[in-house]
Structure 1
Amino acid sequence: MPNEAQKTAPSGADRWLVERITAAWELLTGRPVSLYAASVLRIGYGLLYLIFLLREFPHRDEIWGPGSPWTPGLAHQLFEQTGWNSVLTLSGSRAYFELCYVLALVTSALFMLGWRTRVTSVLFAVVVTSFHARSIFMTDGGDNLVLLMSLYLVLTACGRRWSLDARRDRLKALRKGSTPEPPRSLFARQLREARTALVTAVHNCGMFVIAAQVCLLYGSAGLYKVQGPSWGSGTALHYALNLELFRPWPALSHFVDQYTLVIAIAGYMAVLLQVAFPFVLFSRLKYPVLTLLLGMHIGIAVLLGLPLFSGAMIIADAVFLPDRFYAFLPRLCRRLLRRTDSRRPAPGRAEGSGTVPAQGGPGDALGSEQPGSKHRVPQAP
């Protein structure tokens, strides 16, 4: 009969399960992932919403203000059904609305710069939610994506890189130098480690939710297109280019629409890229797929006049690029700048001056004769 040690010893399956759970826990709480990608999302969506508010500044009253056809009373009736809310409907005063608009501009700018990101990320989510809910019938897919990303970014540590917070922490660390930290109690150390693990876990979960949201968006869009007969026949883009509502430049749309074969190939490629996107994320095929998606979104912004939607999608795609790619970008820029400076001629030196012999000397000012010259230099007065 087996002894007690053999009975209590874990089997191979139990050991494998324990190792997998330990590895998953270490991946979740060990270190924050995609810090540069989170910063790119913060900068991108903060800048995008700031540009959006500035662009709609002349029309702010008709869209969100007291002069909007969708009055605060109608908005409140809709809020009772949908559960939405907005700080813009707390008062019908024009001065209050103008103050909210200015604060929204300031919040978007501070969130983009990464100043006190923990606080400004929450304020940015409140701003986006309030403006979205105030005039919900004037929004599109780009507004919906920006709203979701603003809520997800609250969970992430999006101010750790390329931000004013990161600069302040770096300067603080330089001022401290090698000064040893005061000894902490065991409880204080444990509390700090627990806080770090919790922040890391929440950040990693937030980045996973963002990536899953983008995959779900692409996959569902591709599957819906497959079910449509116009996408199956390759004529969907032809109809889209001839819609009056989505023709910012009719001449350009008409010119592109003449190439029927290119239009059909572009339609099939759009469906293929969107359906295949979730399946190529863990291979090197994601880089050419992301490049093609970038071109697709640029085409949507130019031909269909949807810059907010295209910008939101391009920024969302940045979450799938690794941190080593973003860490390499500053080094690449510095290398290009040094190469440009080395090719630039030195200041005060004419181009091609290296082939001209040096002129002048101590005797020139006294009217001495130059070697090999038949003419005498006139004396200085």
Structure 2
Amino acid sequence: MSAPSWRSAVRARLAAFVGEPTSPQPLGVLRIGVAALLLIQAWSLSESLPELLSNRGWVPWSVSEALASPAVPRVDAVVAALAPLGISQVAGLQGLAFVYVVALLGLLLGLHTRVSAVVAWVIHTVLLNSISFFSYGVETFAHISLFYCVVMPVGTAFSLDMRAGRLSGAPSALATLSLRVLQLHLSLIYLSTGLEKLLGPVWRDGTAIWEVLMQPQYGQFDFAWLAAVPWLVKLSTWGTLAVEVGYAFCIWPRRTRGLWVALTLGMHLGIAVMMGLWMFSGMMAVLTFAAFGWPLLHEAMVTRVRAAVLLPFHSGSAR
């Protein structure tokens, strides 16, 4: 193949990879999963709202302000803006939380999806900048996911907007481009995380899982018995490295995609059960399932339905 034709073939394949119209269903799955998880989180934290956000909570505003970004509003600014209207601090915080939950419900149902996503993302930005002392990985990925819901056509599948005719669920190039961005982002996240773990000696010698499970804040059960089976600890530690580093390479080929989706979901289930990080594991599982798992599952379901429909026809023809 000559150089010009080789370059043309690569350009054509790349253009098809990022721009050939595909179904927006994975983006709808992303929207529903993210909104559902954040609603569960909001419900679980509802009784702790004053302690998390008020000036007399666990971390006073004078302390949390030092950890916050000065370029992003905080809840104290919202409370101060509402004070001239006669709205107390408690009422202001409750109102902010109420609007956030309503926006998440709109996002979950796909009702005025773009507006709901923008409102949820903006309020989440304010909340995240106000409680950075308590935030960990799940908050970062939730924030990224909400931003994706703002800029991606997540309302074009499984939504009330589509049912009402406000949005079309037809395959589109924008859906394909959005899905590729999500897939590439996840690949970079897992690869960089795995490579960073490789730099740590406890990951290379296979004892990292043991050290994590022995920490009181993470160990949900008594794992002291693992001391008698060191090979299992090493297998779990190196298996985690293999899943994370191999994600970027094995999640794309069709032959290994299903296996790596299953391994990744299994890894996050293990993290949730053994370390108690249910929200973090759930968020990462939603991202992987939406980006890579749903297309495989949907294709398998379509194939099975077609086989079930065509089987009686073929059987009748044979008779």
Aligned position for 1:350: none
Aligned position for 1:272: 242
Distance 2:138 2:148 in 1: 15
8 Å CA contact 2:114, 2:149 repeated in 1 = no
Distance 2:155 2:287 in 1: 17
Of residues 123, 129, 134, the one that matches 2:125 is: 129
AA at the equivalent of 1:264: K
Distance 1:271 1:210 in 2: 22
AA at the equivalent of 2:119: L
Return the structure number with greater relative CO, CA threshold 8 A, min gap 6: 2
Query: How many residues are aligned here?
Result: 295
Aligned position for 1:192: none
8 Å CA contact 1:231, 1:267 repeated in 2 = yes
AA at the equivalent of 1:244: P
- The reply on whether 1:294 has 2:294 as its aligned counterpart is no
8 Å CA contact 2:258, 2:296 repeated in 1 = no
- CA-atom RMSD in angstroms: 3.1
Aligned position for 2:107: 111
> Cα–Cα, structure 1 residues 80 and 221, in superposed 2: closer, same or farther, change >3 Å?
closer
8 Å CA contact 1:300, 1:310 repeated in 2 = yes
Gaps of 5+ in 1: 1-11, 174-195, 337-381
Gaps of 5+ in 2: 81-88, 309-319
8 Å CA contact 2:75, 2:93 repeated in 1 = no
- Of residues 286-295 and 44-53 in structure 1, the stretch that sits farther from structure 2 once superposed is 286-295
Within 5 Å, give how 1:43-192 maps onto structure 2.
Answer: 43-79=32-68, 81=70, 83-86=71-74, 89-92=77-80, 93-169=89-165
Of residues 230, 233, 248, the one that matches 1:260 is: 230
Deviations 1:76-126 (A, max 9, x none): 554455x33345632152111111111111211221111111211111211
Query: Match of 1:139, SS?
Result: coil
Deviations 1:282-306 (A, max 9, x none): 3121211221121111111111111
| Structure with the bigger percentage of helix | 2
Please report how far the alpha carbon of residue 313 of structure 1 lies from its aligned counterpart in structure 2 after TM superposition.
0.8
Query: Match of 1:144, SS?
Result: helix
AA at the equivalent of 2:186: V
Aligned position for 1:339: none
Which stretches of structure 1, 4 residues or more, deviate above 4 A after TM superposition? 12-30, 73-81, 255-258, 327-333
Whichever of the two has the greater Rg, that structure is: 1
Query: Match of 2:79, SS?
Result: coil
AA at the equivalent of 1:226: L
Query: Match of 1:85, SS?
Result: coil
8 Å CA contact 2:74, 2:130 repeated in 1 = yes
Of residues 205, 209, 234, the one that matches 1:237 is: 209
Distance 2:30 2:76 in 1: 26
Within 5 Å, give how 1:10-25 maps onto structure 2.
Answer: 13-14=3-4, 17=7, 21=11, 24-25=14-15
- The reply on whether 1:216 has 2:205 as its aligned counterpart is no
TM-score, normalised with respect to structure 1: 0.69
Query: Match of 1:111, SS?
Result: helix
